[in-house]
Amino acid sequence: MAVFQSQIETKSSIFQDRFQKMEGKVKMLKEHLEEVRKWGLDSAHPHFQKNNKLPVRVRIQKLLDSSSHFLELSPLAGHEMYDFKAPSGGLITGVGLVSGRECMIIANDPTVKGGAYLPIAVKKHLRAQEVAMQNHLPCFYLVDSGGAYLPMQAEIFPDKDHFGAFFYNQSQMQSLGLEQISIVFGQCTAGGAYIPALSDKTIMVRGQSAIFLGGPPLVFSATGEKVSAEELGGARLHSEESGVADYVADTEESAIEKGRQILFARSAMPTNFMRSAVQEPHYDPKEIYGIVPEDLREPFDIRELLARIVDTSAWEEFKQNYGTTLFTAQTQISGFHVGVLASQGILFGESALKAVHFIDLCDRHKIPLIFFQNVMGFMVGKKYESQGIAKDGAKMVSAVSLSRVPRFTVIVGGSYGAGNYGMCGRAYKPRQLWMWPSAKIGVMGGETARHILASIGKKMNSEEQSKLIEKYDIESTAYYSTARIWDDGLIDPMDTRKLLTLGLQISLNAPLAERRKGVYRM
């Protein structure tokens, strides 16, 4: 494959202006990430000083192999969502190596409302379990939680994607043969008690851990019985009488080491996909900063971006001159053979049909799919409706939905309307979905919404129109998205290649399902 010949002028004023603006956005992102990570490492917090316990991120560091990565999911969950501080939503999740095996880690932060589950933490926990099931990963629960956050119980308890779904997922993971290990560091109350109870192995810390459906205050309220936390659900009781715990450790460090010992290292993962020798891109990845304009309505060549991500900046483009608003090509990322679909603005019917053909070929030949989103939606208008844009878009959505190979999505620009769906948005279960800090996501832009409302008779004065546009602008930002876990995290564009490499490596754990074929309309 020939190396892509970049047309970018890195000395130009346009490139330099875009570079500086992206650099500023990345700096802000890193400041936010540093703030939440510092919180999880703060051993000076009164909670740890008083109880002689380890901060949550230190627990994770000690569990992971010394040379391991940690692919953290949604570190900015809960960002500016509540009227109190909730770094990372009070829950840290991610994938790393434990005893040589890729594992999902779900860890409560007891300094955020006593480790109780906020609504966003429930969503984050469920997403982590979904990733574990998709990729057939063993799961560690580092439990230190007061259960559901009672002031918000209506947003946590009764619905199908609320607290009870944790335990449904744990049962499903058992049926898949995925090992689940709980290390209980503090109190594990109410519904949270089922997390260790449903795990394959449970480790408690003597004099520190406690597991009970109802804590001492609730027991007293219900029965009048006065009992200490240790008597009600401590390590001795559960290891000697109830059988809920399988191991007891004297310290947090020894409990973590016991967890590592339980998970024996195994041989290399089965190789489902083709892989060649790793080769770096021909162009400097940092040049990505100067390619994407701040105003996402300005066009740019998505190939310039890909040339800073894929091996040797080379690819085999598919249907190059057909459906040209969608780039499709086979290439390599860190040696993994992948199929890339990268949108460039509006998707036409030809673009959708090209996607269907390409996705089907990649799925047939066991080639993972990577979607780079900069999409304004599908084309509208009388001409395009008469040509069947609705059925062509439906074919694309169906092809994405039924493909069995791992799918990954990176939102690099706009992600609007049904274009989000066709390009493997969150609803289509990509293994991971990352977003650049400059990206936007929404059903449409604020100006478009204003025009539509006006056209159907909605009368608004200038102040109301300004407020509507501002609302859409705020709700389409990358930070608004990541706080609500509509993505798996905001990333430095320069880290795109590294994160996709980790995702591809993690996907090797799971066998491929049987190939499925949709019924596409004529």
Is the four-CA dihedral 185, 190, 191, 196 of positive or negative sign? positive
Mean of all residue pLDDT scores within the chain: 92
Q: pLDDT class for 189, splitting at 50, 70, 90?
A: confident
Kindly state the average pLDDT of the residues 335-345. Answer: 95
Placement of tokens 């043969």 in the chain:
177
Q: Which residue has the higher pLDDT, 111 or 214?
A: 111
The answer for residues whose C-beta is within 8 angstroms of residue 301's C-beta and 6 or more apart is 7, 344
Q: Is the pLDDT of residue 522 over 80?
A: no
CA distance 251 to 237: 17
Residue range 34-64, pLDDT digits in tens: 999 999 998 888 878 777 799 999 999 999 9
Q: What is the pLDDT of residues 132-147, one digit of tens each?
A: 999 999 999 999 998 8
pTM for the whole structure: 0.91
Give the Cα separation of 332 and 277 in Å (integer).
10
CA distance 43 to 391: 57
β-strand partners of 93: 73, 106
- Give the whole-angstrom CA distance, residue 442 versus residue 18: 23
Residue 92 region by backbone torsions, left for phi larger than 0, else alpha for psi between -120 and 50, else beta: beta
Check the CA dihedral 371-372-377-378 and report its sign: negative
Helix (H) or strand (E) holding 122: helix 119-135
Going by pLDDT thresholds of 50, 70 and 90, the confidence category of residue 213 is: confident
Say yes or no to pLDDT of 395 above 90.
yes
Q: Cα separation of 361 and 341, whole Å? A: 13
Average pLDDT over every residue of 442-461: 81
Contact 215, 223 (CB under 8 A): no
pLDDT at 425 over 90: yes
CA dist., res. 370 & res. 372, Å (int): 7
What are the pLDDT digits (tens) for 77-130?
Answer: 999 999 999 999 999 999 999 999 999 999 999 999 999 999 999 999 999 999
Q: How confident is the model at residue 449 (pLDDT cuts 50, 70, 90)?
A: confident
The pLDDT score that the predictor gives to residue 266 is 47
Rounded average pLDDT over 419-440: 96
Answer yes or no: is pLDDT of 379 > 60. yes
The mean pLDDT of 500-508, rounded to a whole number, is 95
Question: What is the rounded distance in angstroms from the CA atom of residue 213 to the CA atom of residue 188?
Answer: 8
pLDDT at residue 133, as a whole number: 96
Please compute the mean of the pLDDT values over residues 362-382 and round it to a whole number. Answer: 93
| pLDDT of amino acid 378 | 93
Q: Confidence class of residue 305 from pLDDT cuts 50, 70 and 90?
A: very high
What tens digit of pLDDT does each residue of 323-338 get? Answer: 999 999 999 999 999 9
- Rounded Cα distance, 121 and 30, in Å: 22
| Three-state secondary-structure class, residue 279 | coil
Report residue 22's pLDDT band, with 50, 70 and 90 as the boundaries: very high
Taking the C-alpha atoms of residue 336 and residue 326, their distance in angstroms, rounded to an integer, is 22
Asked if the model's pLDDT at residue 264 lies above 70, the reply is: no
Q: How far is CA 273 from CA 179, 270, 336, 359, 430, in A?
A: 24, 9, 7, 15, 17
Kindly tell me if the per-residue pLDDT of 65 is higher than 70.
yes
Residues 6+ apart with CB under 8 A from 172: 133
Please enumerate in sequence order all residues whose Cβ is within 8 A of that of 448, keeping only pairs 6 or more positions apart, or say none: none
